[in-house]
Chain A
């Protein structure tokens, strides 16, 4: 694999060059947190971060997005007929995305790019994006990527992987899309022959620092209805306040709502991130709600990520181990613990009193 060496003194110049042909997104610090933002001309991504508070999913999948426009004015020739909203699918790049977050797009793609239906907004936006990853030399205490199908130097979902090596970055060229971006930046100097060994050493070191893990191997063999009826959901959901922070921050949560929003005689049909934590998500017109209690909603979130997804795609869990939901949960609900409970659940061994 080709490795480019980027001298840090050439960093700012390269970024500026990239911006002439790409819309660039990167981590930016505001208040106490980093988040991914569109970078202004000349603005540099701030790579002095462990990970952003909110995942970079919005780079491909905006929190709020206009799908259609319409006129309600009967004097207009095509009133009440939806028209495609203006969209910009010109090339964009996200710089400094962590490998776990990059891997999340491959998981989410399974939802939006199916044999039967293609979500044009997500797919076009995803295909327009070049993913420049940033290897984690210092993972956080809540990271469990290595047991969630990813890793601090994982390359899946990336076009380039940057590795910080003191006064330079090594850039592993993973796809031709990534190579085009490096060319656009003018970063072309091949790394010295020792680079792969240095990268491998950093990767080993980072891997050894991942202190937490999940066990997932038996999830697939569990019976859905048995896990669904497991007694531990009462305990898991007890403290939950259904704030939705977990789903909002999560790189692999993709649920959305569609709403019409009018202003005078015109309006837009838009889609917005939604959350299985909210009762309105599933309430019927009649008032009946199949997931009317918080236990049902908390169970849905974990069952979706750790059982339904596992069964549906046979490709691991719907989680990349970024740890955001653990760090930001106001009541300390920990997906690692829930995952282990589900993975080791045996209804016959359960000592709880029968209901």
Chain B
């Protein structure tokens, strides 16, 4: 019972969801994709999101974790998140079963700058398990209603080995399309039948990424080491720092810019980000 006071929507209250499907994505079994269905019919609409946003997955009794939304706004009836098994909440989540009840709070954060990207060439550069919101973006752009809004789409995506690539069926399907240029790569491979690239993401970027012009934007998402070595490549290819778009991660609790821990300077990664241009990041302390 709430006694007195004004009516305010509670941004800390998650929408209750049921786990509808769990897919083990990688050969090390550390990455699973969870497909959630909202328990209350109206909640899916309230959770209307854009590619690049994230949500707090709320495992009742354990806590919350901020995870990028892997499904696309064009996919209806469910939301998907791919979760790496790391800490208390994510480890427990990995032990949960189809049918279990938990919560989702969001959508949170900004998104990739879709208004800016419209009418542009988009180069997506991803590494490891940081491919989740990039998957959301690709599905979104390839949707028949959206594809004509973008010019060339190039995707450079690398993992340690073929078995560590996420969404392998979808990658294979995108390879066959002529409206997206896929450049899949692995650090090393034993399989003689491997038909894609071998090499680190920065090297493949240097070979395959289109050179920069005013109409070309790169979205980079990956481990710090990949970003560190890819950025000089993009510089060499002539990308301006406001044409390089990055999505950050930091420890978060509230997800709405209030609890104080995820800031980089005056910006909160949770609310003002997680997506920033490199030009923006150049002006803030690198506390991520």
Contacts and interface: CB of A to CB of B under 8 A. Distances in A.
B266 interface: yes
Contact of B63 (A84, A90, A259): A259
A90 B4 contact: yes
Contact of B11 (A117, A128, A312): A117
A122 B156 CA distance: 46
Contacts of A255: 259-261
B14 A82 contact: yes
Interface in A107-152: 111-112, 114, 116-120, 123-124, 127-128
Contacts of B285: 224-225, 228, 303
A315 interface: no
B100 interface: yes
Given A82-B58, A90-B3, A282-B261, A258 B253 contact: yes
Contact of B61 (A72, A120, A258): A72
Contacts of B16: 80-82
A258 to B, nearest CB: 5
Nearest to B60: A80
A284 interface: yes
A228 B258 CA distance: 22
Interface in B1-17: 1-6, 8-14, 16
Interface stretch (A158-166, A206-214, A285-293, A323-331): A285-293
Interface string B253-265: 1101111111111
A221 interface: no
Given A291-B287, A312-B266, A120 B10 contact: yes
A256 B6 contact: no
B259 A80 contact: no
A313 B250 CA distance: 23
Main secondary structure of the interface of A (DSSP, over half): mixed
Contacts of B10: 84, 120
A274 B61 contact: no
Interface string A236-279: 00000000000000000011111110100001010000101000
Given A256-B259, A258-B64, A89 B283 contact: no
B61 A124 contact: no
B225 to A, nearest CB: 11
A79 interface: yes
Which of B9, B102, B103, B251 has the most C-beta atoms of chain A within 10 angstroms of its own C-beta?
Answer: B251
A312 B265 CA distance: 10
B253 A284 contact: no
A114 B257 contact: yes
Contact of A118 (B11, B259, B284): B11
Contact of A257 (B101, B259, B265): B259
A255 B268 CA distance: 13
A307 to B, nearest CB: 8
B271 interface: yes
A224 B258 CA distance: 21
B192 interface: no
Contacts of A291: 287
A52 interface: no
A92 to B, nearest CB: 10
A308 B263 contact: yes
B8 A123 contact: yes
A81 B43 CA distance: 14
A281 B261 contact: yes
Nearest to B16: A81
A128 B258 contact: no
A112 to B, nearest CB: 6
A303 B13 CA distance: 31
Nearest to A284: B251
Nearest to B260: A255
Interface in A198-240: 224-225, 228
A349 B244 CA distance: 34
Interface string A295-328: 0100010011001110110000000000000000
A81 B60 contact: yes
B288 interface: yes
Interface string A78-106: 01111010111111000000000000000
A345 interface: no
Interface string A45-85: 00000000000000000000001101010000001111010
Given A80-B102, A308-B263, A312-B266, A225 B283 contact: yes
A184 to B, nearest CB: 16
B5 A224 contact: no
Given A255-B260, A284-B250, A84 B2 contact: yes
Contacts of B260: 254-256, 274, 276, 304
Contact of A284 (B5, B249, B263): B249
B149 interface: no
A256 B253 contact: yes
Interface of A: 67-68, 70, 72, 79-82, 84, 86-91, 111-112, 114, 116-120, 123-124, 127-128, 224-225, 228, 254-260, 262, 267, 269, 274, 276, 281-286, 288, 290-291, 296, 300, 303-304, 307-309, 311-312
Interface of B: 1-6, 8-14, 16, 39, 58, 60-65, 86-87, 90, 100-103, 224, 249-251, 253-254, 256-266, 271, 283-285, 287-288
Nearest 10 Cβ contacts at the A-B interface: A255-B260, A89-B5, A124-B5, A285-B86, A308-B266, A285-B87, A120-B8, A80-B101, A89-B4, A290-B287
23 contacts: A80-B101, A80-B102, A82-B14, A89-B3, A90-B3, A116-B256, A118-B9, A124-B6, A128-B5, A224-B284, A228-B285, A254-B258, A255-B261, A256-B259, A258-B63, A267-B61, A269-B63, A282-B261, A283-B251, A284-B250, A303-B265, A308-B265, A308-B266
